[in-house]
Structure 1
């Protein structure tokens, strides 16, 4: 970690346990920020001409007056020309803010409303800035302060500081007295709570991605307006900050509680924030979720996908999938969100139980693999959908939330209706074919792939008619061992999905009900060059199995009569050709 000496403004590197106490700056980047190369290579008088130098200067001044010898400012303490150093810094950023002795948050666009309150020295009957007509040392520190020197927040900041650092009130006063006029003022200036909320909410600092962790992580954080006049301390403004950011006050005052907050709720804090580079929208959230990923500038929004994949490795919290997308013509979606903006309405999401009790899920090359601990992971929804319970709810509601899924083959699903969350209580129990079985949900679905998936039933082989007809003949579908190839089978629709191919061999076995003396019955389908034929095969250990599209059986008089007849009908389903296999069950007397 590279730190600035608050007296000399020289940089020095520290590692591990050797890192001394330091102050840290939180701010928004603007024009003419001072880089590492500029601070170390240019003459000081040249560096001082940059607008951003003032922030470095004032940070060091405030730190020194608080008895802190070192400071950290992101603009100049990171050598961004080194990708390795930049990666280490971004992955360590949350911890650096958390371990700082104090953080100064500079709100560069927050107007100083205290100029009319005696915070300025009167010269010749007119109020003027302390800088006017006054000498300054080499760091621009005013030699003459205004009025009686007070301590931050009516002594509360200083008194608490001294207690934490084992100092007497007198010793602490001596350290901070010199800078007290910069850090003192009436914290509300006569404003109502709502006026304070509106005043701070208008600041750009509350709209940037990186400042989210810089608000939560520090134990001690003080806000300064554009004239570096102290506005208030985080714990004293926690009510206003919670209203602006939607972050729980307990978390604002204790970052250690972050892990107790549902993933979806934490994501919602970043929903209305922006970063200059698309990748930073993911990188700035690493500390919020306690994960680390390599920096790959140039990958764009894929960084946010990698962030979610890393969260999945560390947490079993299904609320990660409680996002909602905006209106779109795209039908099929992946289970991962495209942006924190998709979590905008997740601020009230809560978990039913500890996430450790949820079903196991993991990211694989096939998609998100879900391993149900019981048979309740999937339920039947409406319009040929399944519903996956996310084991979470909204504050003030008792509804278990879920997402809508559509099946593609035996075990692969995509998300559908991404603009809505399902009410799990409105669904039916899962089908026998879905119970307790490992399944996969696509991570991402591109618009092109969505179109392809929308026609996945093209040349499909639908056996729903045959299934219902054979029920009348006292035969049931044997789900355990009677479906081949199982990877193409859609249980809910009783259909083999051919993915548009014109060549496929498939079969389904039906077992007789109860203790019937009937032998198992196999319905064999052969798709060749776009033409489907269907025939029966009667199984058994003795004799040659009967086979054909028409099966015969002896009636009560011993005469052979037609009993079952398989037929194929082609129909258009949503504009795509589908083969329907029907079965005529003829009466046997």
Structure 2
């Protein structure tokens, strides 16, 4: 870990544990223009020590303001992402991405600089307008960026400052205001509930309206929030978000809210380069193409003690999952009529071949019908109780019915359909066996 001395403005390498014992501050900010990089910092050291403000650029001035703010509170060390990471080293950049959440979490103080906000002393901290931009009525752009999500959640002590370094307030005392602006429940901001208790869908919903300059950072900026690691591969584009979800799939075995998303529009798949003859509007797989698809999933909950873990495994074809309907007697109403036919056949009223052909035809027809698949995650129903969330699937490949000692289950490959919907069911359906859900890969 590399930090700035808040007095000399020189960089020092060391173990995080040592800096944590001494106490360090960390800066959260929105990158604006040409920020001062690791390679450029030395050329500005003299100006940072002795120059008269405003300094030569807003970016240099920001470093000085952050260090002064920390130093005035008795903190010797400051970490700033723009100049404390040598981005010419792929190893260092990868380590920083996977460690950044921990660095924010263990900082003595997080200083949040809002360069597009001017504090109005007349406004109370309970007013959302306190974070309003100087040039329009929107909240500071800091609230719409991808990396700042973990920077809001991780710190235990966080102070907000405006563009002139005027103090606005602390995260804990402004939690209700921040909740309205960010869409994150105040309980997770105060620490009353650890944000890790929120399910995957809820965390994704926090990111849904945020953006990053580099497409891959939509995934990389969330690894700390989910408590996972992944090697950055800049250039993989939208594949990074798919890769993140595959990691979550193998990490959170009980959390099926990963699949509790809706397309903003039926044409959203085409916007990600998937369509044509193979994929119609509203069709997709189980894994979403973008955090934006979780925008309406902020009320999803999981109840780990209710379900048993079900296996979802990514394969080259798609997601192997328990989505095959079991067509045994007593499992589906359609079999009632079929077995009546079989009894009539046994009694000799109709030829045996005709009876078995009827059952075979009925089973194949039923196997090809669209159906709902119930997820082990929930929403509040109209009565206030929990109801299961369900999605909709369509079989695309059906094996032939085989007759031995009993009617065999039907194996099929399927697609997710009606992807702009999330249904609700009072009683979960459990009679499913293993099958494949096809999964498209968004184009770069």
Q: TM > 0.5 between the two?
A: yes
Are positions 1:389 and 2:391 aligned together?
A: no
Bigger share in helix: 2
Match of 1:438 among 403, 411, 434: 434
Consecutive unaligned residues in structure 2, runs of 5 or more: 268-279, 334-365, 398-410
The size of the alignment, in residue pairs, is 368
Match of 1:26 among 19, 25, 28: 28
Aligned-pair distance for 1:425?
4.6
Aligned-pair distance for 1:197?
6.8
User: TM-score of the superposition, structure 2-length normalised?
Assistant: 0.76
Aligned-pair distance for 1:194?
5.2
Higher RCO, 1 or 2 (CA under 8 Å, sep at least 6)?
2
What is residue 83 of structure 1 aligned with on the other side?
90
Distance in 2 separating the partners of 1:396 and 1:101: 42
DSSP 3-state at the match of 2:387: coil
Distance in 2 separating the partners of 1:43 and 1:196: 34
Distance in 2 separating the partners of 1:363 and 1:52: 44
Residues 321, 190 of structure 1: alpha-carbon distance in 2 compared, 3 angstrom cutoff: closer
Correspondences of 1:563-574 after superposition (within 5 Å): none
Bigger share in strand: 1
Distance in 2 separating the partners of 1:384 and 1:373: 12
Distance in 2 separating the partners of 1:43 and 1:241: 35
Consecutive unaligned residues in structure 1, runs of 5 or more: 115-187, 448-589
What is residue 289 of structure 2 aligned with on the other side?
338
Residues 278, 102 of structure 1: alpha-carbon distance in 2 compared, 3 angstrom cutoff: same
DSSP 3-state at the match of 1:412: strand
Residues 271, 331 of structure 1: alpha-carbon distance in 2 compared, 3 angstrom cutoff: closer
Match of 1:193 among 117, 124, 127: 127
DSSP 3-state at the match of 1:303: helix
- Cα deviation per residue 1:566-588 (whole Å; 9 max; x = unaligned)? xxxxxxxxxxxxxxxxxxxxxxx
Is the 1:207–1:274 Cα contact (8 Å) retained in structure 2? Answer: yes
Is the 1:401–1:423 Cα contact (8 Å) retained in structure 2? Answer: yes
What is residue 419 of structure 1 aligned with on the other side?
420
Residues 341, 53 of structure 1: alpha-carbon distance in 2 compared, 3 angstrom cutoff: same
User: TM-score of the superposition, structure 1-length normalised?
Assistant: 0.58
- Cα deviation per residue 1:3-27 (whole Å; 9 max; x = unaligned)? 0011100001112433342000000
Residues 446, 50 of structure 1: alpha-carbon distance in 2 compared, 3 angstrom cutoff: closer
What is residue 405 of structure 1 aligned with on the other side?
393
- Cα deviation per residue 1:345-372 (whole Å; 9 max; x = unaligned)? 0111112444873322222333222258
Structure with larger Rg:
1
Distance in 2 separating the partners of 1:424 and 1:379: 17
What is residue 318 of structure 1 aligned with on the other side?
256
Match of 1:327 among 244, 247, 266: 266
Distance in 2 separating the partners of 1:80 and 1:379: 59
Match of 2:140 among 203, 206, 217: 203
What is residue 3 of structure 2 aligned with on the other side?
3
Distance in 2 separating the partners of 1:225 and 1:253: 22
Match of 1:226 among 156, 163, 169: 163
What is residue 51 of structure 1 aligned with on the other side?
58
Is the 2:375–2:391 Cα contact (8 Å) retained in structure 1? Answer: yes
What is residue 277 of structure 1 aligned with on the other side?
214
Aligned-pair distance for 1:327?
2.1
Distance in 1 separating the partners of 2:177 and 2:394: 43
Aligned-pair RMSD on alpha carbons?
A: 3.1
Is the 2:388–2:424 Cα contact (8 Å) retained in structure 1? Answer: yes
Is the 2:36–2:83 Cα contact (8 Å) retained in structure 1? Answer: yes
Is the 1:34–1:50 Cα contact (8 Å) retained in structure 2? Answer: no
Is the 1:358–1:391 Cα contact (8 Å) retained in structure 2? Answer: no
- Cα deviation per residue 1:20-60 (whole Å; 9 max; x = unaligned)? 42000000000131100001356634995232111111111
Distance in 1 separating the partners of 2:306 and 2:427: 23
Aligned-pair distance for 1:268?
0.2
